A and B are shown apart, each in its own frame.
Chain A
Amino acid sequence: MEEVDVEPNITLIPGVDFRHKHLGFVWGPGDIVVYETNYTEKGGGPGGSGRPAIHVVRKDEDIYSPILRKLFNESHHIFVDLQRIKKDLPSKNKKPQFVSISKNYRSVIRACMEELQQIAVSTQDDSLSTQYGNQISILLAVELIWNLCEVLFIDAAPAGTLLLHLLDWVRLHKVDVDVKAREILQSDSPTKHPAYWDLVISFVLQGRMDEARQVLMKQASLQPAARPMFSLMDNLLHKMPIFNPGGTQTLTEFDVKWRHWHEECDRCLQDSSFASNSHLETICKILVGDEDTLLEQKELLSTWYHFLVTRLLYTHPTVKPTDLHHYAQSCMHMFLGTRNALEPLDSILLAAFEFDLHQVIKDCSIALNNWWFVAHLTDLLDHCKLLQSHNLHFGSNLREFLVLEYASGLFTHHSLWQLAVDYFDHCPEFGRVYLELQIERVPLDTERKALKVLRICEQRQMTEQVRSICKIMAKRALRNSRLGSALSWSIRAKDAAFATLISERFLQDYCTRGSFSDLDLIDNLGPAMLLSDRLTFLGKYREFHKLYGEKQFTEAAKLLLSLMTAKIAPRSFWMTLLTDALPLLEQKEVIFSAEQTHELMFCLEELTSEKCDPNPDQPMQDEEVESTKIELLRLALARNLANAIVKEGTVEA
Chain B
Amino acid sequence: MDCIAAKYVSQKISKIRWRPVPSESLHQPDVFATGSWDNEDNKVSVWAVGENGVSSMDDEFEGDPQLLCETKHEGDVLDLQFLDQDKIVAASSTGAVTIFKHHPDKDKEGLSVAHTWERAHRYPCDNAPCTGVVCNSPELVSVGEDGRIVLYKVDQRAILRVIENADSSTIHAVTFLKTTGVLTVNSIGQLKLWDFRQQGNEPAQVLSLTGDRVPLHCVDRHPNQQHIVATGGQDGMLCIWDVRQGNMPFSLTEAHSAEMWEVHFHPSNPDHLFTCSEDGSLLHWESSANSDTPSFLQGGRNTSIISRSAIAPAGGNQSLISAWLAGDSSKGRLETTHMLPSQTLSVNSLDVLGQCLVCGTDGEAIYVNRQVPV
Chain B at the A interface: SS class: loop
Nearest-neighbour CB distance to chain A for B11, whole angstroms, equals 7
Identify which of B18-26, B149-157, B296-304, B359-367 touches chain A: B359-367
B286 an interface residue at 8 Å Cβ cutoff? no
Task: Indicate whether A188 reaches chain B with its CB closer than 8 angstroms.
Answer: no
Q: How far is the CA of A517 from the CA of B169 in the complex (A)?
A: 12
Interface residues of B in 325-344 (CB under 8 A from A): 342, 344
Q: Are B190 and A488 in contact (CB under 8 A)?
A: no
Give 6 A-B pairs besides A69-B10, A445-B129, A524-B188 with Cβ atoms closer than 8 angstroms: A447-B187, A448-B76, A452-B362, A484-B188, A485-B145, A520-B169
Is B259 touching A451 in the complex (CB atoms < 8 A)?
yes
B213 touches A526 (CB 8 A): yes
Question: A306: shortest Cβ distance to chain B, in Å?
Answer: 32
User: How many angstroms from the CA of A229 to the CA of B187 in the assembled complex?
Assistant: 87
Is the Cβ of B187 less than 8 Å from the Cβ of A485? yes
A437 to B35, CA, bound (A): 30
- Contact B128–A518 (Cβ < 8 Å): no
Task: Show 16 residue pairs from A and B whose CB-CB distance is below 8 angstroms, ordered by the A residue.
Answer: A70-B8, A73-B363, A415-B12, A418-B12, A446-B129, A447-B129, A448-B78, A452-B362, A459-B258, A480-B125, A480-B128, A520-B168, A520-B206, A521-B168, A526-B213, A527-B211
**Chain B residues closer than 8 Å to A80, beta-carbon distance:** 344
Nearest-CB residue, chain B, relative to A69? B10
Contact mask B2-44 → A, CB, 8 Å, 1/0?
A: 0000001011101000000000000000000000011110000
Chain A 451-485: CB-based contact to B (< 8 A → 1; otherwise 0): 11001000100000000000000000001111111
Which residue of chain B has its CB nearest to the CB of A442?
Answer: B38
Does B210 interact with chain A (Cβ within 8 Å)?
Answer: yes
A445-B93 contact given A70-B10, A488-B169, A521-B168, CB 8 Å threshold: yes
Select one of A414, A447, A479, A520 contacting B38, CB under 8 A: A414
Q: Which residues does chain A contribute within 8 Å of B10, judged by CB atoms?
A: 66-67, 69-70
Q: Are A518 and B168 in contact (CB under 8 A)?
A: yes
B211 x A73 contact (CB < 8 A): no
Q: Which chain B residues numbered 162 to 182 have a C-beta less than 8 Å away from chain A? A: 165, 167-170
**Would you give the shortest CB distance from A478 to chain B, in whole angstroms?**
11
Complex CA distance for A480 and B40, rounded to whole angstroms:
25
A448–B131 contact, CB under 8 A? yes
Closest to B212 in A: A526
B contact residues vs A (CB 8 Å cutoff): 8, 10-12, 14, 37-40, 75-76, 78, 93, 123-126, 128-129, 131, 145-147, 165, 167-170, 186-188, 190, 192, 206, 208, 210-213, 234, 258-259, 278, 342, 344-346, 362-365
User: Closest Cβ of chain A: how far from B94's Cβ, in Å?
Assistant: 9
Q: Would you call A76 and B363 a contact (CB within 8 A)?
A: yes
- What residues of chain B lie closer than 8 Å to A448, measured between beta carbons? 14, 37, 76, 78, 129, 131
Judging by beta carbons under 8 Å apart, are A517 and B168 in contact?
yes
Expressed in whole angstroms, the minimum distance between the Cβ of A77 and any Cβ of chain B is: 7
A521 to B168, CA, bound (A): 7
Least distance between A425 CB and chain B CB atoms (Å): 10
CB distance from B324 to the nearest CB of A (A): 27
Q: Say which residue of A414, A422, A518 sits within 8 Å of B39 (CB atoms).
A: A414
Contact residues of A with B, CB < 8 Å? 66-67, 69-70, 73-74, 76-77, 80-81, 414-415, 418-419, 422, 445-449, 451-452, 455, 459, 479-485, 488, 491, 517-521, 524, 526-528
Q: Which residue of A lies closest to B278 (CB)?
A: A455
- Chain A residues whose C-beta falls within 8 Å of the C-beta of B344 in the assembled complex: 76-77, 80, 422
Judge whether B346 and A452 touch: CB under 8 Å: yes
On whether A452 and B278 interact (CB within 8 A), knowing A69-B10, A77-B344, A528-B213, the answer reads: yes
Indicate which residue in A418, A419, A480, A484 contacts B168 across the interface (CB closer than 8 Å).
Answer: A484
B363 to chain A, nearest CB (A): 5
Q: In the complex the two chains form, what is the Cα distance from A481 to B124 in whole Å? A: 8
Q: Which 6 A-B residue pairs are closest in the complex by CB-CB distance? A: A484-B168, A518-B168, A480-B123, A70-B8, A66-B10, A526-B211
Known contacts A76-B363, A451-B234, A480 near B169 by CB under 8 Å: no
CA distance A519 to B125 in the complex (A): 24
A451 — nearest CB in chain B belongs to which residue? B259
CB distance from B322 to the nearest CB of A (A): 24
Q: How far is the CA of A521 from the CA of B192 in the complex (A)?
A: 13
Decide: B234 and A446 in contact? CB cutoff 8 A: no
**Shortest distance between the CB of A70 and any CB in chain B (Å):** 4
Q: What's the Cα separation between A494 and B124 when bound, in Å?
A: 28
Nearest-neighbour CB distance to chain B for A251, whole angstroms, equals 40
Give chain B residues whose Cβ lies under 8 Å from the Cβ of A418: 12, 345, 362
CA distance in complex: A555, B345 (Å): 52
